[in-house]
Each structure stands twice: as structure tokens, then as C-alpha cells.
Chains A and B, each alone.
Chain A
Amino acid sequence: MAKRIDVSGLTAYYGSHKAIEDISMTIEPRTVTAFIGPSGCGKSTFLRTLNRMHEVTPGGRVEGKVLLDDEDLYGAGVDPVSVRREIGMVFQRPNPFPTMSIFDNVAAGLRLNGMHKKSELQDVVEKSLRGANLWNEVKDRLNKPGAGLSGGQQQRLCIARAIAVEPKVLLMDEPCSALDPISTLAIEDLIGELKERFTIVIVTHNMQQAARVSDRTAFFNLAGVGQPGRLVEIDDTERIFSNPSVQATEDYISGRFG
């Protein structure tokens, strides 16, 4: 179910501005891959190219290849809508639909996929909320608005919404940066459980978080001011944090810059 992502020679633009250049990497199934790097180095942009969300930004366009198993996401005739149904995303700020109840938030993606039977929806919603470690906190108020939950709960609601449609890959763009430490811990535990079922890619500013949750870590950096972001290296997390092969990585991780 979880799938491998193979990126080769990927370059992304905002209008005429080149944001990231020539990125190639492989993301293994059922692992957690963390993207770290200083602000503005393009790690979020890169993440958004993986489910074709980059191109919804005005002026956003992409060159290069992203293979999901063997299918090129940017191939001719590939519908970005169907790509996004296979590759889920969780955003920096929790963004449940404010006009929907907790139940309807989780059911939103299922309904898009044509599931309308109440009993089926109930089963999947419960399973997804359990999967997001939120069920016990919300089971008595599924019909209350999702926006009434705490920030950490909202973020887990968004994770439940994303996993309800059984994506092949789950992308997370700094999912804990707006949360307190307790909620952050809850999400990190959840990531550990979710990687049994999904391929997970997480962008984080928090290097301890990368070290805690990920199996592989990719370090991004700018070649210089005004230059596009590049992938410096990707390796096993343990190696990146103990003995990286590039000096810049070590400098960043040890806090010498960034």
C-alpha cells in the first residue's frame, strides 16, 4: 500500500524565480523521511511538489520527474487531483474545515471519493480518528465543529482527515510548529505508529524532532543569497546526526549556522 517516491532532477519555480534546483532523492516506503534546513531553503516547496500542490500557487511550475513507484506524477495526462488523492498532506497550521463538524471533517475526503453510505462513513471515520489517537477525546462530540478543538487536537483531526482516504504517502509540512510540547509529543508518537502503514515525509525546523521521528534525513541549503535551494545530502538519520558526509550539514546540526 505504501509506495516509494523517486525524484530526479526536480526544479521548481515561482514565476521566474527558481526556488529549488535539480533535486534527486529516493524516499523509501514505510519510513519517515525528515527534511531539515534553514528557512527559505525550499524544503516546503519541495514537499509541495511531491503532491502537485506547488502548482496551485500562482506562477508555480515544476521541471523534472517524480515517480510514485513507476508512475510519473508530472507525466502527460496525469490529473493533479488524482495525485492528491493518493498523496495526503498535513499543513503547518491546523486547518480543519471551520464550517464542518468533527465527523464531516474526517468524512470530507471519503465523500469526495464517492462514499456516501452513513454506516460505511461511520466505520472509516472511527478507524481514522482512532488511527490519529483522537477517538477517545472526541467520540462524544462528533457533531460539534472541528474548529472548537484545541490546536493539537485540530492537527490530529487533520491527520485523521488525511489518512481516512488511505493515501499511499503522507506529507507533513512542519506539523508541530504551531503546537505546544505536549501536543507535539502526541503527534510524534502518532507518526511512529503511522509509518507502519504509510510512507511519511515531514518537514521540520526542529532538529531534535527530526532525530526523534525519522529514519532518513535530508538536509537542504541555499547555495548563497538569491540562489535556489538544493539538497545537500540525504542519509540515515543516525548518520546525519553523528557523522554526516558534508561539512555544511555538520555545521547546521551543531548550530554553527541557521
Chain B
Amino acid sequence: MDPMDPMDTPTQTADAPPRTLRPSPAEQKRAARGATRPGDRIFLGLSRGSGILLLVIMAAIAVFLTYRAALALSKDDANFLTAFEWNTGLVPPKFGIAVLAFGTVVSSIIAMVIAVPIAVAIALFLTHYAPRRLSGPIAYVIDLLAAVPSIVYGLWGALILVPHMNGLFGWLDDYLGWTGVFSWDQGPPRSMLTVGVLLAIMILPIITNVSREVFRQVPRTHEEAALALGATRWEVVRMAVLPFGRSGVISASMLGLGRALGETMAVATVLSPDFDLHASLLNSGGGTFAQNIASKFSEATEFGRDALIASGLVLFVITLLVNGAARAIIARRKEYSGAHA
């Protein structure tokens, strides 16, 4: 809207003559926020209170994690960031998160690499290719997938997925084993790759659903603009749908990534953890923050819990960094986002 247009600034009363009913400055301030009537005031209080509560909860979590973590870290005899061991019972205790950080990041990256393209493809199919009577039921099934509890995924992963990974692992070892990343010692396939595949299945529904919502909101006029230029269906998707949905797909992926980073039971059920760094994604071993906390927490001493909380703090920081990065990516091309078109 044109900022110079006098019609757009009806609240400007700077040079209006003083009136007898002129509201007091405090009233004017309230009026500017739209909170003069009781209903408005209650709603303002509620919404502002909710906002503040959220910040307080975040701060409380951060303070709790930092305090308990500090207790443990002050006694850690190993380098917390680089040590390949977790022995909180020793005197002095030695524990470090290197393996956990590596495992968490690697399994999440595998999950994202598998899930994001498939989810975007499913979302595009549902919104732009599938006949309407097909897209409804498929979307419903995907919603159901999102509602399955993660322990069920974990059981399915351990009982069905793990034995079936043998074939894939053998194939990868045969053809890509020379890279080191895909070499396999023929051990049980309870490894990072299996965890990544399972996580991919788990985060697929959320990424698909959010992407589908975004693609559905692509303005019809943008698609018609592309069609009228003689674009094929795929070209319409490429010219109008994907660019418009880009920031939404990134947000969707971040939601999925958040779930993958923090997934606990499914990983704990499938993985055979250890505290070594494995270059190969196929050999069993490794661990993630959440899996490690879940496996050790119930039997840990008070100090052991503090150490686990310290690892939780690192996961918290990683999640914050990932979200910040995603926001930065979205903001960088904001003027092209189409939000104001």
C-alpha cells in the first residue's frame, strides 16, 4: 500500500484541533492497541500472558539444564566434547558426548536425505497429480502414520526392519564398500543407517502434511500464469508451486528434523549402542543423545543423571541452532517469498 496515501493514515491526529472529549494519553495508548472494551482487554491479557508464559518456560528449561549440567561438568575428568566414553561411575568420572553428537547428527541427516524428497514428492502428487478421490484416502493414511506411537515404530523396526536390512547392507557393501562409509562387518544391522531409515519413515508424515498444506495454498493465479505461458504440469510445479512452497517445505523439514534429533524409544529399540566412533554407517554401534539418556537414566546415580542432563543441554543447543539456521534461510529470501503478493 502506498504510504503517502492520506487515506491510509486515518489515525494521524497531530494537527487536528483540540476537542473537549479528547482521550487522555493513557487511553489513547490503550486505544492504539485496540484494548478499550472489556473483551479486548481480557483477550489482550490472555494472549500476552501466554506469550510471556512461553518465554518463562523456555528460560526455566534452560536454567534447569544449565544448573544440573554445571554440577556434572565441574567433575568431569575427560573432555566433555571430545571423549569417546561414558563412565560416570568412575572416580574421577569420565564422560564425553562426541559419539552421541555424531550419532544424533548422522542419523538425522540420513533421515532427512531419505524423507524430504519423498515427502515433497508425495505432497506434490496429492495436490497436483492425484485424482481427488485418490488424494483424500492417501492423505488420511499419511495422517494415521503420524499418529503411530514411536515405541511401535521401534518394535516394528527391531522385529521387521532390522532383519530385512541385511540384503540392502550386503548390496551396499559389495558396490560402495570401498568408500568406507558403506563397508560392513556382517554384524547385525542395528546401525546408524537402519536408525536413519526408521527415522525417515517416522518423520515422513509430518513433512508430507505440512508440505501438502503449503502446496495447496499456492495461488491459482500463479499456476495459471505458468500454464498460460505454455508450461507443462511439471513446469508449472517448477515455476510456480515449488518456489512458492520453498519456505514452507523448509519449515516442514525442520519440524521433521526436530523429531528426528529428539527421537528416543525407536532409536533405543533398534540400535546396539556403544561408545566408539564408527566411520561406517552399516556397522552396528554408536548412539544418540536421546537414546543414551533413555537407556541410562533409570539406572543412573544422582551424578549420572546430571551428566545425562548435560548431554541433554547439548541436544537442546543443537536444536536451537538448527531452528535458527532454518529461520535464517527463510528470511534471506523473504522479499521473494510471495507472502506480500
Query: Which residues of A pack against B, CB within 8 Å?
Result: 51, 53, 56, 58, 81-86, 88-89, 91, 93, 95-100, 108-109, 112-113, 145, 147-148, 158, 161-162, 165
Residue contact B230 to A97, C-beta cutoff 8 Å:
no
Closest 8 CB pairs of A and B: A98-B338, A85-B230, A99-B243, A98-B341, A89-B228, A109-B229, A95-B221, A84-B230
Q: CB < 8 Å: which of A98, A109, A158 contacts B230?
A: A109
**A93 cross-chain contacts in B, Cβ below 8 A:** 221
Count residues of chain B with CB under 8 A from any CB of chain A. Answer: 26
10 more A-B contacts (CB under 8 A) besides A81-B232, A95-B219, A165-B230? A53-B224, A83-B230, A84-B231, A88-B228, A98-B222, A98-B336, A99-B333, A108-B226, A161-B225, A165-B229
Residue contact A84 to B224, C-beta cutoff 8 Å:
no
Residue contact A91 to B224, C-beta cutoff 8 Å:
yes
Q: Which of B203-222 contact A (CB under 8 A)?
A: 219, 221-222
**B337 cross-chain contacts in A, Cβ below 8 A:** 98-99
Any A CB within 8 A of the CB of B244: yes
Name, among B226, B229, B243, B341, the residue most crowded by chain A CB atoms within 10 Å (CB to CB).
B229
Q: Which residue of B lies closest to A146 (CB)?
A: B341
**B231 cross-chain contacts in A, Cβ below 8 A:** 81, 84, 112
**B229 cross-chain contacts in A, Cβ below 8 A:** 84-85, 88, 108-109, 112, 161-162, 165
**A145 cross-chain contacts in B, Cβ below 8 A:** 335-336
Any A CB within 8 A of the CB of B146: no
Main secondary structure of the interface of B (DSSP, over half): helix
Q: Which of B279-335 contact A (CB under 8 A)?
A: 333, 335
**B232 cross-chain contacts in A, Cβ below 8 A:** 81
Given the known inter-chain contacts A99-B337, A145-B335, A147-B338, please indicate yes or no for A112 contacting B224, CB distance below 8 A: no
Residue contact A112 to B336, C-beta cutoff 8 Å:
no
**B224 cross-chain contacts in A, Cβ below 8 A:** 53, 56, 91, 95
**A56 cross-chain contacts in B, Cβ below 8 A:** 224, 227
Any A CB within 8 A of the CB of B235: yes
Residue contact A97 to B228, C-beta cutoff 8 Å:
no
A216 to B180, CA, bound (A): 74
Name, among B222, B239, B341, the residue most crowded by chain A CB atoms within 10 Å (CB to CB).
B341
Query: Which residues of B pack against A, CB within 8 Å?
Result: 132, 219, 221-222, 224-232, 235, 239-240, 243-244, 246, 333, 335-338, 340-341
Given the known inter-chain contacts A81-B230, A97-B240, please indicate yes or no for A147 contacting B221, CB distance below 8 A: no
A164 to B53, CA, bound (A): 55
A78 to B244, CA, bound (A): 30
A249 to B23, CA, bound (A): 58
Residue contact B227 to A97, C-beta cutoff 8 Å:
no
A113 to B235, CA, bound (A): 11
Residue contact B225 to A147, C-beta cutoff 8 Å:
no
Given the known inter-chain contacts A98-B244, A147-B341, please indicate yes or no for A162 contacting B230, CB distance below 8 A: no
A98 to B333, CA, bound (A): 11
Q: CB < 8 Å: which of A83, A88, A99, A158 contacts B246?
A: A99
Residue contact A53 to B230, C-beta cutoff 8 Å:
no
**A162 cross-chain contacts in B, Cβ below 8 A:** 228-229
Residue contact A147 to B340, C-beta cutoff 8 Å:
yes
Nearest-neighbour CB distance to chain B for A92, whole angstroms, equals 9
Nearest-neighbour CB distance to chain B for A192, whole angstroms, equals 22
**B335 cross-chain contacts in A, Cβ below 8 A:** 145, 148
A98 to B341, CA, bound (A): 6
A91 to B243, CA, bound (A): 21
**A95 cross-chain contacts in B, Cβ below 8 A:** 219, 221-222, 224-225
Q: Which residue of A lies closest to B243 (CB)?
A: A99
A99 to B227, CA, bound (A): 16
Nearest-neighbour CB distance to chain A for B195, whole angstroms, equals 36
What are 13 A-B interface contacts by the 8 Å CB criterion? A53-B224, A91-B228, A97-B222, A97-B243, A98-B340, A99-B246, A108-B239, A112-B235, A113-B230, A147-B336, A147-B338, A147-B341, A161-B225
**A81 cross-chain contacts in B, Cβ below 8 A:** 230-232
Q: Which residue of B lies closest to A105 (CB)?
A: B225
A84 to B341, CA, bound (A): 24
A88 to B232, CA, bound (A): 15
Residue contact B243 to A82, C-beta cutoff 8 Å:
no
**B333 cross-chain contacts in A, Cβ below 8 A:** 99
Nearest-neighbour CB distance to chain A for B151, whole angstroms, equals 41
Nearest-neighbour CB distance to chain B for A116, whole angstroms, equals 14
Residue contact B239 to A53, C-beta cutoff 8 Å:
no
A95 to B219, CA, bound (A): 10
Given the known inter-chain contacts A81-B230, A162-B228, A162-B229, please indicate yes or no for A97 contacting B221, CB distance below 8 A: no
**B235 cross-chain contacts in A, Cβ below 8 A:** 112
**B132 cross-chain contacts in A, Cβ below 8 A:** 58
Q: Which residue of A lies closest to B335 (CB)?
A: A145
**A98 cross-chain contacts in B, Cβ below 8 A:** 222, 243-244, 336-338, 340-341
Given the known inter-chain contacts A97-B243, A98-B222, A145-B335, please indicate yes or no for A53 contacting B341, CB distance below 8 A: no
Residue contact B239 to A97, C-beta cutoff 8 Å:
yes
Name, among B222, B225, B227, the residue most crowded by chain A CB atoms within 10 Å (CB to CB).
B225
A83 to B227, CA, bound (A): 11
Q: Which residue of A lies closest to B340 (CB)?
A: A147
A53 to B222, CA, bound (A): 14
A100 to B338, CA, bound (A): 9
Residue contact A99 to B230, C-beta cutoff 8 Å:
no
Q: Which residue of B lies closest to A52 (CB)?
A: B227
**B243 cross-chain contacts in A, Cβ below 8 A:** 97-100
Q: Which residue of A lies closest to B333 (CB)?
A: A99
